A and B are shown apart, each in its own frame.
Chain A
Amino acid sequence: MSASQQTGPVTGERAAVSKVAAAIDRAKAEGRAALVGYLPAGYPSVQESIDAAIELARNGADVIEIGIPYSDPVMDGSVIQAATTEALARGFRVASVFDVVKAVTDATAALGTAVLVMTYWNPVMRMGVDEFARRLAEAGGAGLITPDLIPDEAAEWFDASEKYGLDRVFLVAPSTTPERMAMTVAATRGFTYAVSLMGVTGAREAVDQSAQRVVAGAREAGAERVCVGLGVSNAEHVREIAAYADGVIVGTAIVSALRDGGPAAVGRLAAELSSGLGRATGPA
């Protein structure tokens, strides 16, 4: 089941079956794409971020991304920046992310929701990659999405993710060459994160046409599971992407809902987004 069956950079003992891959495959078995939802830990408080993530899972998200607020989020647009800046201003500490992961994992165990952490690399490096991975695994986390870590620099992360059986979600972009696509897909476990456009996170009117091309490129490179993110904000976008990708990633729209309407609003949005996943018609 592991996406790293293609020779990854680290050989040796195989980790357990990817939790994220299992969640995506379950959606696939139901004839639909998976919904991947992002929320930052500690926004607007640690407890509310837990409540919101649970609402997200109960209303249709198969995979939850818990973001670690970071001082220099270069891949994030204004909405997520504002939320994570606020979390930091209120004293968010990185180690709290393990509490959030554990609480969400425990509360959604029956649903089989996979909980990933999305983080810029310096907080992981500061804690120590091995220690971070160990604590994430202990909390029940599925793995990491690493927006500013490319496989070229990820040797420590390969070791730690193998050791603790964690998924490694790397990003690929419209600018990614076929050579880098092959290298990145081979390094990935869980799913390949296809960035839909050249830009940062944020809601957009339409999903960029390049998204489909990135997904095709990833599949050509051997990716078993490809999810599309950036600029995805409504059920119509979800429907469009679900026709060709294995999963749809929504971030900014969920953070906006949490900001404006609390955890309940997150649940309502998740339910609406889920309606676009194509359960009725099946994948195109």
Chain B
Amino acid sequence: MFRFIVKRLLEAIPTLWALVTLSFFLMRFSPGSPFTSERGIPAAVLANLQAKYHMNEPLMNQYFHYLWDLLHGNLGYSFRFSDYTINQLIAQSFPISAEIGFWSFLVAVSLGVICGVFAALRQNSLLDYGVMTFANIGMVLPNFVIAPLCILFFSIKHHWLPAGGWNGGAWQYLIMPVIAMSTSYIAQIARITRGSMIETMHSHFIRTARAKGLPKARIVIQHALRPAMLPVVSYLGPAFVGIVTGSVVVDQFFGTGGIGQNFVNGALNRDYSLVMGVTILIGTLTILFNAIVDILYVFIDPKIRY
């Protein structure tokens, strides 16, 4: 078991390297430069700027330089906000995204699983149809529609919540981003849970448990829930990525100042080091999360052995 975990984590290293390399060269080969601006820059200033960012060296040197810095946990200076290092920018915005993401994830998983389980246990009842209708709607409503709808309802119509901002993560500022972020995942997880729960409840060991006369609550919680969670767990990897990507939308609408905003601004400004930094961070988290999901899978599914 321990060996499997170590092996799974070691496997992530070449993936990470590929990620760094690909995003590095994608950025460098793209047309446009971070120093192009409407006003021309004097040649001497440009040369100085390029020297600061090692842009005057051959590409391979730049690449190895970047890798070397990266190994020391140094993501370099931002091209746009030249007083900041990328580490500072990320340290500023990442906790915000992490907090929104954490709550969204928690809400999505708990609500999704609860809705799905109840819908499955009362299959073809009114509750089931209600949950499934909600799930179908939630799945097709993009979060950039849910976000303004939230603002319209909670802030403009009723003045219950502030329309945007972060304010150190006070709960009033957290609610709408979490709603916008988690709706489609609640829907998706509810659908998956319902499907696999129905399948599990029809299996032989559940029939045996029933025949033994176990109370229904115990059958559901002790016997059915664990195998029914398998497809949900494997969905959590993609869901995590989606929640991270979703922060691009949430940051734009609610002005929360999370990492998504950094990324989009960075990409639009050709801020190489910022885009690279965010991509590497997100990529690392994604790879790590996929590994965790794989490891979790082993714990839940007794059929898988390593």
A interacts with B: no
Give me the interface of A with B, judged by CB distance under 8 Å: none
